[in-house]
A and B are shown apart, each in its own frame.
Chain A
Amino acid sequence: AQSVTQLGSHVSVSEGALVLLRCNYSSSVPPYLFWYVQYPNQGLQLLLKYTSAATLVKGINGFEAEFKKSETSFHLTKPSAHMSDAAEYFCAVSDPYNQGGKLIFGQGTELSVKP
C-alpha cells in the first residue's frame, strides 16, 4: 500500500526566506508524485508532478521539488517566499502501473508567510 507523510502541519517563514515543505512517501513501485496547493476558499491546484522523468521538477509560481529515491522523499522548495504563497500544500502519491491506483494525499502543510 502507498502512503504519504508530510512533516509539519504548519510551517511559518518570513517573506523572502526559503520555503521547504517536506514529503516522504511509501510505495512498493516507482511512484508518481504530486504537489497541490489550496488557497483559502478554493479547490486544489496542481503545482507540479513527478512522472519518472527528470528528478528535479519545476512547477508554477517558482516552486520546485526533487525526487530522491534513496530517501523516499519529494520535498517542495521555493527560494524566496512571497506573501501570496500563504496556503495549504498537499503532497500526493499514485501508482502509475495500477490503473485503479488512486491519488493518496498527505494531511497537508499550512504555510504562513510573515512580512
Chain B
Amino acid sequence: ETGVTQTPRHLVMGMTNKKSLKCEQHLGHNAMYWYKQSAKKPLELMFVYNFKEQTENNSVPSRFSPECPNISHLFLQLHTLQPEDSALYLCASSQDSRGSGGYTDTQYFGPGTRLTVL
C-alpha cells in the first residue's frame, strides 16, 4: 500500500451504533488530520495530530472521538451520530503541522469514507 489509505470506504450506521473509521499513512509523515466534507460546503478541519499528540480540535461534537496510537494510524470513533453527520470523512497526512512549514506542508489525502447515518 502507498500513500494514505482509509477503511471502510462506505459505512451505513444507525444513530445508536458505535463504529470506527481507520486511516493509515505510508509516507513517513508526522502529522495526521481528519476532515469532514459535506455536500455544498467547504472542507471542515476536525482534528489534527502531530507526533501522536492532538494539537487541534475544531469544536467537534464529542460523539466524534479520535485516536492516534502511533504516527502512522489515526482512528475516528463514532457514537450516537445524527443524520446531519452523514458526509465524506477524509484523512490526510503531512510532514509536520508544527514545523517551520506549519499547516503549509503539503497534505496528502486518502480516498475518504462515505458515511450515511440513518
A: residues with CB less than 8 A from B are: 4, 9, 32, 36, 41-46, 49, 51, 90, 94-96, 98-108
Contact residues of B between 56 and 70, Cβ < 8 Å to A:
56, 58
A99 touches B98 (CB 8 A): yes
Residue B109 is within 8 A (CB to CB) of chain A in the complex: yes
A51-B43 contact, Cβ under 8 Å, with A43-B110, A44-B90 = no
Residues of B within 8 A of A41 (CB): 111
The contact sample of 11 A-B pairs, CB cut-off 8 A, is: A32-B104, A36-B109, A43-B90, A43-B91, A43-B110, A44-B43, A45-B109, A90-B43, A96-B102, A99-B97, A103-B107
Residues of B within 8 A of A45 (CB): 109
Q: Residue of A at shortest CB range from B42?
A: A105
Most-contacted residue by chain B among A46, A90, A103, A108 (CB, 10 A): A103
Most-contacted residue by chain A among B90, B98, B106, B109 (CB, 10 A): B109
Residues of A within 8 A of B97 (CB): 99
Residues of B within 8 A of A107 (CB): 40-42
Q: State in angstroms the CA–CA spacing of A107 and B37 once bound together.
A: 10
A100 touches B112 (CB 8 A): no
Residues of A within 8 A of B117 (CB): none
Q: Residue of B at shortest CB range from A106?
A: B42
Most-contacted residue by chain B among A43, A46, A107 (CB, 10 A): A43
Q: Residue of A at shortest CB range from B44?
A: A105
Name A98's contact: one of B4, B102, B111 (CB within 8 Å): B102
A94 touches B103 (CB 8 A): yes
B102 touches A99 (CB 8 A): yes
Q: State in angstroms the CA–CA spacing of A42 and B92 once bound together.
A: 12
B104 touches A43 (CB 8 A): no
